[in-house]
Structure 1
Amino acid sequence: MLFLKKYKRYKHPYITTSIIILIIIAFLSLFAPLLTDYNPVRNDARNRLQPPSYQHFLGTDQFGRDVFTRILYGIRTSMEVGLAVVLLTVIFGGIVGVMAGYYSQIDKIVMRILDALMAFPGIIIAISLAAIWGAGKLNIILALSFAYFPKMARIVRSAVISIKDLDYVDSARSVGAKDSRIIFKYILKNSASPIMVQATFNFALAILDEAALSFLGVGIMPPAPSLGAMVTDARTYMVVAPWMILAPGIMIILAVLSLNLLGDGLRDLLDPHLKNTLKK
């Protein structure tokens, strides 16, 4: 409710634009079976490398599969991976961040472990884990979640540290409120803003990195549709069939750009230091 009131008051253009794009993408992914009559994995050698036409809106690939159909199912895969990664990073990163921020006894140990993990780029960790565990949607989700949760934990920890010694928290503690009640009722409630912002950025990173892993051959395995794998397959046919690489590439750009715009908009909207700027 607080977010809706702020949005109506400031009407941030980034949020409006990103929500419109995300609604369209979500509609395409959810209703993919109703928007196309083609099978995303069935080969049709007679219609291979057909240019865009009335029958094939975005043409066909080297196996005669409809590119538009594969994009619809590919973005569905990307959205599923992104949502699962966001859920896992918020849960585990939130737990670790709250424990480290609220209990100073374990803070140093936990943060040194997180610092060691963050010394490596997230995509390197994800590639390594995917190569060890093997390809597949579940393994990709777990690998990306493990790569992203340290940053979420640090953000939650910072929010907890800035809140736990405020007057209203001390008042609750002085009347005998248990730690669990203080954490859930006061600290997490007032830490929601940075968590929401980071969650949108993690969503965008998950879509981009899932495509990268599939592009490298350690992500979603063919013939299952994946935007990254479609870009990989299209490299050989860039000259004779440019639609094969342009269509999935543009879809990746739109999805990631819309989520980044949403994250920027939420950060501006929910950051109290920027309220005066937004009012002008």
Structure 2
Amino acid sequence: MLFLKKYHKYQHPYITTSIIILLILVFLSLFAPVLTDYNPVRNDARNRLQPPSREHLLGTDQFGRDIFTRILYGLRASIEIGISVVILTIIFGGIIGIAAGYYPYLDKIIMRVLDAMMAFPGIIIAISLAAIWGAGKLNIIFALSFAYFPKMARIVRSAVISIKDLEYVESARAAGATDFRIIFKYILKNSASPIMVQATFNFALAILDEAALSFLGVGIMPPEPSLGAMVTDARTYMVVAPWMILAPGIMIILSVLSLNLLGDGLRDLLDPHLKNTLKK
């Protein structure tokens, strides 16, 4: 109820829209076995390249597999990867960001390393690591997490630096509170807003980059469904079977767009400067 009051007060209709879209996507991925009777990896040569119909809502691909079914399971894989990447980036980025922001003698060393890593685009790092480690869901998760955690670490570091010298933190330190207690009771609690916002953007990037890795052939291994791999397979059949590329492409767009809208909305809602602007 408190969140709804805040929402009504600051008027963020796109937060509601993005949450509704995300809930629908999560529902579709979780209940995929209930929503379809088809096997996502079983070939059916007799029904290959069938247009959308009552039997196949989004048509079939070059192997006769139901596209709607493969999208549901591919969406599930994307969400699993996105959630895993977000958790790992928060853990590793948070630890490194706190160490750099709270302990000045570690700051220069850590930040120079992070600056060197951020000199390369995240997708390039992810592609390189996926090529070295090999394709597969677990390797994608680790590759994307390694590519994203430097930015999360910098955001956490900035939040820690802005909070650690405030009066209530100084009071806790003067009262004899340990660094561990100060970090977890005072600093992390008040650093949650930028971490949440960055986490939503990382989620969107993970879905998009997972599709890119699968598109390039270093992502999820076939025949396991992947939205990016479905787009790759559909390129050859764009003229004779356009439904093959439209359906997974639209699903990727919806997922990434809804997460980006949610991140923008949370940033507006949680940023005190933007709150004052919205009030006016």
Same topology, TM > 0.5: yes
2:237 maps to what in 1? 237
Deviations 1:8-43 (A, max 9, x none): 432411211100000000000000000000000000
Q: What is the root-mean-square deviation in Å for CA atoms of aligned residues?
A: 1.0
4+ long deviations beyond 6 Å? none
Equivalent residue number for residue 70 of structure 1: 70
**3-state SS of 1:54 partner:** coil
Q: Which amino acid aligns with 1:85?
A: V
The residue type equivalent to 2:42 in the other structure is R
- AA aligned opposite 1:108: K
Tell me, what secondary structure is at the counterpart of 1:49?
coil
Q: Which residue does the alignment assign to 1:220?
A: 220
TM-fit CA distance, 1:275: 1.0
1:105-129 residue CA offsets vs partner (Å, 9 max, x unmatched): 1000000000000000000000000
1:3 deviation in Å?
4.9
Instruction: Name the SS for the 1:108 alignment partner.
Output: helix
Q: Which residue of 2 aligns with 1:88?
A: 88
1:40 match: secondary structure? coil
Distance 1:4 1:173 in 2: 36
User: Gaps (5+ residues) in structure 2?
Assistant: none
Code of the aligned partner of 1:181: R
Q: Which amino acid aligns with 1:13?
A: P
One-letter amino acid of the counterpart of residue 53, structure 1: S
Q: Deviations over 1:167-195 (max 9, x none)?
A: 00000000100000000000000000000
One-letter amino acid of the counterpart of residue 226, structure 2? S
CA distance in 2, matches of 1:209, 1:275: 32
Structure 2 counterpart of 1:49: 49
Query: Partners in 2 of 1:221 and 1:28 — Cα distance?
Result: 22
Among all aligned residue pairs of Structure 1 and Structure 2, give the percentage whose two residues are the same amino acid.
87
How many angstroms apart in 2 are the aligned matches of 1:104 and 1:237?
A: 57
Give the counterpart letter for 1:95 in structure 2.
I
Compared CA separation, residues 96 and 9, structure 1 to 2 (3 A): same
Aligned counterparts of 2:5 and 2:110: Cα–Cα separation in 1: 37
1:128-167 to structure 2, matched below 5 A, reads 128-167=128-167
Q: What amino acid maps onto 1:33 in structure 2?
A: P
For residue 6 of structure 1, report the CA deviation from its aligned partner. Answer: 2.5
State how many pairs are aligned: 280
Pair 1:249 & 2:258 matched? no
1:191-225 deviations in Å (ceiling 9; x for gaps): 00000000000000000000000000000011000
Unaligned stretches of 5+ residues in structure 1: none
Q: Give the deviation of 1:7 after TM superposition.
A: 2.4
Q: What is the one-letter code of the residue matched to 2:149?
A: F
Task: Supply the distance in 1 between the matched residues of 2:186 and 2:5 (Cα, whole angstroms).
Answer: 21
Task: Pick closer, same or farther for the CA change 1:106–1:3 going to 2, 3 Å.
Answer: farther
Tell me the TM-score normalized by structure 2: 0.98
